[in-house]
Structure 1
Amino acid sequence: MQYAHFTVAYWCVLIAAVLPIACAGLAKSGRIGLPRREGGFDNVNPRDWLARQTDWRARANAAQANSFEALPFFIGAVIIAHQLGAHQARLDILAFLFVVLRMLYIMMYVSGMGTARSVVWCAGFAVNIGILLVGYR
């Protein structure tokens, strides 16, 4: 009986799925446990609370939304590449690069580095297209 193994690319999917949650945690950091009247996180109405945030907290929340938006294409590209029998090392490298670019993207987003963030987003999108096509023959 042969067992399937979890490839590096699949591990990268898991990491990419956790990134939006990390962004949300960052947006809420330092505010959990504080009373709501003092600006503490409101777990009863979390979306309203996040929508009222400004500066880096608002950007961390926006990075969360963008990370969720990027996730379906990345997951689909990795699965399709596996199904097409892509060269595993190439696929793993591209998936790892995508995750690294997403982490850079989040850091730049939260830091307010708009132009650099857009360049990194474009690079990540191009890598994702590369993932999709790496198995094409």
Structure 2
Amino acid sequence: MPIAIWCVLIAGLMPIVVAGVAKRGDRSFDNNDPRGWEGRLEGWRKRVYASHRNGLETFPFFAAAVLCAWTQGASQDWVDGLAAAFILLRLVYHWAYYADRASLRSAVFGTGLLITIAIFLSPLWSAAPAA
């Protein structure tokens, strides 16, 4: 399988891992009322959980872009590189949220969005040569 498809798996699992970071060691988490728990969060846990939600929001567009590029004949090397860059940026994004670096977080988010658009449009400018 191409690297980009593995990146879809990683991007899909990343929000789950991030939510686990927010919950880890917090004895106030109540699995009977997880939304209530979320509403009571403060500080770094609140920021990390917000980055979890953002991961869930960005995942569908990224996954669709990779699948579009894969099925529409984009150069796999380009798509793999862009998808790997997206994953690295998502890691930086989650760290920036945790560290309360709002400007960096916004810049990284914007760059990730541009990369996702580039993946989606890559069949237009990076078509693989005909065999």
Q: TM-score, normalised by structure 2?
A: 0.92
Match of 1:105 in 2: 93
Displacement of 1:88 in angstroms is 0.7
Displacement of 1:29 in angstroms is 1.0
Q: TM-score, normalised by structure 1?
A: 0.88
CA offsets 1:106-125 (integer angstroms, 9 cap, x no match): 10011110011000001100
CA offsets 1:81-129 (integer angstroms, 9 cap, x no match): 0111111111100000001101100100111100110000011001111
CA RMSD of aligned residues (A): 0.9
Uncovered stretches (5+) of structure 2, i.e. residues with no partner = 126-131
From 15, 21, 24, give the equivalent of 2:16. Answer: 21
Structure 1: 4+ residue segments shifted above 2 A = none
The percent of aligned pairs where both chains have the same amino acid is: 41
C-alpha separation between the residues in 2 aligned to 1:81 and 1:7? Answer: 12
Structure showing greater Rg: 1
How many equivalent pairs are there?
A: 125
C-alpha separation between the residues in 2 aligned to 1:111 and 1:19? Answer: 18
